Amino acid sequence: MAMMKMKINGYRLRTLLSTSLSSSPFHSVPSRTFSSSSFENVGFIGLGNMGSRMANNLLKAGYKMTVHDVNCNVMKKYSDMGVSTKQTPFEVAEASDVVITMLPSSSHVLNVYNGPDGLLQGGDLLTPQLFIDSSTIDPQTSRKLAVSVSNCILKEKKENWENPVMLDAPVSGGVVAAEAGSLTFMVGGSEDVYLAAKSLLLSMGKEELQEAIDFISLFG
Q: Minimal CA–CA distance to 105: which of 136, 142, 131, 134?
A: 136
**What CA–CA distance (Å, rounded) separates 46 from 108?**
10
**What CA–CA distance (Å, rounded) separates 144 from 7?**
23
pLDDT at 28: 44
The mean pLDDT value of the chain amounts to 81
pLDDT exceeds 70 at position 154: yes
Contacts of 22 (CB under 8 A, 6+ apart): none
Residue 47 is assigned to a structural domain of this protein: yes
Q: What is the tens place of the pLDDT at every residue in 175-186?
A: 999 999 999 998
Domain that holds residue 145: 36-179
Residue 16 is assigned to a structural domain of this protein: no
Residue 159 is assigned to a structural domain of this protein: yes
Q: Minimal CA–CA distance to 28: which of 122, 129, 143?
A: 143
pLDDT exceeds 90 at position 37: no
How many percent of the chain have pLDDT more than 70? Answer: 76
Point out the least confidently predicted range of 8-12, 49-53, 147-151, 162-166: 8-12
**What CA–CA distance (Å, rounded) separates 38 from 98?**
9
Q: What is the tens place of the pLDDT at every residue in 185-219?
A: 988 888 888 889 999 999 999 854 433 344 444 43
Residue 123 is assigned to a structural domain of this protein: yes
Q: Minimal CA–CA distance to 118: which of 147, 152, 90, 150?
A: 90
DSSP count for the chain of H helices, then E strands:
9, 11
How many domains does one find in the chain? 1
Residue 72 is assigned to a structural domain of this protein: yes
**What CA–CA distance (Å, rounded) separates 98 from 204?**
15
Element containing residue 165 per DSSP (H, E): strand 165-168
pLDDT exceeds 50 at position 132: yes
**What CA–CA distance (Å, rounded) separates 148 from 177?**
31
